[in-house]
Amino acid sequence: MGTLEGKIAWVTGAGSGIGQAGAIALASEGATVVLTGRRKEPLDATSATIKAAGGKAVVKPGDMMKSSVVGRIAADIDKRFGRLDILVNNAGLNIGERDWGRLTPESADTVIHGNLSSAFYCVTASLPLMRRTKGGVMIHTASWAGLWPSSLSGAAYSAAKHGVVAMSHVINMEECVNGIRSCVFCPGEVATPILDKRPIPVSKEDRAKMVQSEDCGDLIRYIACLPPHVCINEVVISPTWNRGYVAQQQHTLAPKKKK
């Protein structure tokens, strides 16, 4: 029997990348996983993978940028299962034209709304269910850019993900007395479809050296399987071949002398 047998997990952005890998990993431990994203087809594919391995999944498509939709999905979970044990608050996006030269009020809104407001909607919809059972674990996918702002990610994304980090820590400050644990997950570069939005294309070779979605799925499973008295507040991971560090070395380390 898996550690998460009988538990209900809600994973947003479950049709691809980190969310998909997290959903598969949680289902492999016995959790029933509710899969959300805007497009139904990728969610159906995740569900099929989970079911083919003997797991349990339910597809609930929806746009996390709409608070009414988020509230409706949480209400559906409550009606169907009467509980929510794990939230993987992972849906997020970025835009190609992210530099100050091309950012517009509308595109800034999209990024802030799609990474920060949406994350808040998910938390406010989930907390009442978790408070009722006096327990639950939340894992929010922020980013390396949520700790260290960068041009690579852009100002709007960096700002939104800093907000997600702050959001998660304050959940622990207030909800620890209700047995609720919040973990903010801050990955560096992970080889997922979000990289297709990068202004400078990322090569296949570079993607192969990055953290992979399955590495993140494993971590999500580990955090969700911890006993209720353990809270992992923040997790930072990055590729060993960290392209930011490698680029820095080119400017800071003297070239090796030829023998």
Ligand X SMILES: NC(=O)c1ccc[n+]([C@@H]2O[C@H](COP(=O)([O-])OP(=O)(O)OC[C@H]3O[C@@H](n4cnc5c(N)ncnc54)[C@H](OP(=O)(O)O)[C@@H]3O)[C@@H](O)[C@H]2O)c1
Residue 38 lies near ligand X (rule: CB under 6 A): yes
Span near ligand X by CB under 6 A; candidates 11-19, 79-87, 120-128, 240-248:
11-19
Q: Which of 7, 9, 10, 16 binds ligand X (CB under 6 A)?
A: 16
Interacting residue with ligand X among 4, 10, 11, 12 (CB under 6 A): 12
Question: For residues 65 and 127, which CB has a smaller minimum distance to ligand X in the complex?
Answer: 65
In the 3-class helix/strand/coil scheme, how is the chain assigned residue by residue? CCCCCCCEEEEECCCCHHHHHHHHHHHHCCCEEEEECCCHHHHHHHHHHHHHCCCEEEECCCCCCCHHHHHHHHHHHHHHHCCCCEEEECCCCCCCCCCCCCCCHHHHHHHHHHHHHHHHHHHHHHHHHHHHHCCEEEEEECCHHHCCCCCCCCHHHHHHHHHHHHHHHHHHHHHHHHCEEEEEEEECCECCHHHHHCCCCCCHHHHHHCECHHHHHHHHHHHHHCCCCCCCCEEEECCCCCHHHHHHHHHHCCCCCCC
Catalytic residues: 157
The piece of 8-16, 129-137, 172-180, 232-240 that touches ligand X (CB under 6 A) is 8-16
Q: Which of residues 104-143 bind ligand X (CB under 6 A)?
A: 114, 118, 141, 143
15 belongs to the binding site for ligand X (CB under 6 A) = yes
Contact string (CB under 6 A) for ligand X, positions 60-79, x = contact: ---xxx--------------
Cβ proximity to ligand X, 136 vs 239, nearer residue: 239
Binding site for ligand X (CB under 6 A): 12-13, 15-19, 36-39, 42, 63-65, 90-93, 114, 118, 141, 143, 187, 189-190, 192-194
